[in-house]
Chains A and B, each alone.
Chain A
Amino acid sequence: ELKVEQNPLFLSMQEGKNYTIYCNYSTTSDRLYWYRQDPGKSLESLFVLLSNGAVKQEGRLMASLDTKARLSTLHITAAVHDLSATYFCAGGSGGSNYKLTFGKGTLLTVNP
């Protein structure tokens, strides 16, 4: 059974600083997803990482995947207040990776 652990669970940052959220998973997963959730809202897809060494970037966010280490990272560059949200990573399992197992989420607060 796939297990996904994120850390930290809470992250308070100052604007302009850099930080990384880590996502470890327990068994082989060919797909790693990052989602963002704003308070009271649903999940917004950020990235899908499909292979070892995959790196994707969108604005101030960059995600990477190391399948050998079973580790994905979400790096935040020069944080701005608008990035304040909860970030979830999820691994895909099941015969076609349809079943998402989520981490507990990282609550990110970016302070001015």
Chain B
Amino acid sequence: GAGVSQSPSNKVTEKGKDVELRCDPISGHTALYWYRQSLGQGLEFLIYFQGNSAPDKSGLPSDRFSAERTGGSVSTLTIQRTQQEDSAVYLCASSLRGQGLTQYFGPGTRLLVL
């Protein structure tokens, strides 16, 4: 079956611009997660959705980062006024429920801020 998909796969933007990253979870998975992977910080949790609600946003680095999920499915991570330190791979994952079950990761969006 189809796995987690993300788009775009690569994004190059200029400092100060806004970007939107999209995640399509596995069908039927109610839990969705965003992580960030960078050389300096490794893999970091950003936000967790259960359905359309985000009970844990504790990993979002600043108020320039926001995310939403609609219809219990697609999620969008938005970064406003991008900075060079935002350059990283943004990974989305989903699981059947948010109860310690296996998280299946998408291919990621590689973001480069010039």
Contact = CB atoms under 8 A, between A and B. Distances in A.
Contacts of B45: 99-101
A42 B102 contact: no
Contacts of B104: 45
Contacts, number: 57
Given A42-B91, A42-B105, A96 B42 contact: no
A75 interface: no
Contacts of B106: 42
A68 interface: no
Nearest to B91: A42
A25 interface: no
Interface residues of B, number: 24
Given A45-B102, A45-B103, A94 B56 contact: yes
B105 A43 contact: yes
Contacts of A98: 31, 33, 48, 56, 95, 98-100
A87 interface: no
Given A101-B45, A102-B42, A102-B43, A96 B102 contact: no
Contact of B100 (A31, A41, A42, A101): A31
B19 to A, nearest CB: 19
Interface of B: 31, 33, 35, 42-45, 48, 56, 59, 91, 93, 95, 98-108
Interface of A: 30-31, 33, 35, 41-45, 48, 50, 88, 90, 92, 94, 96-105
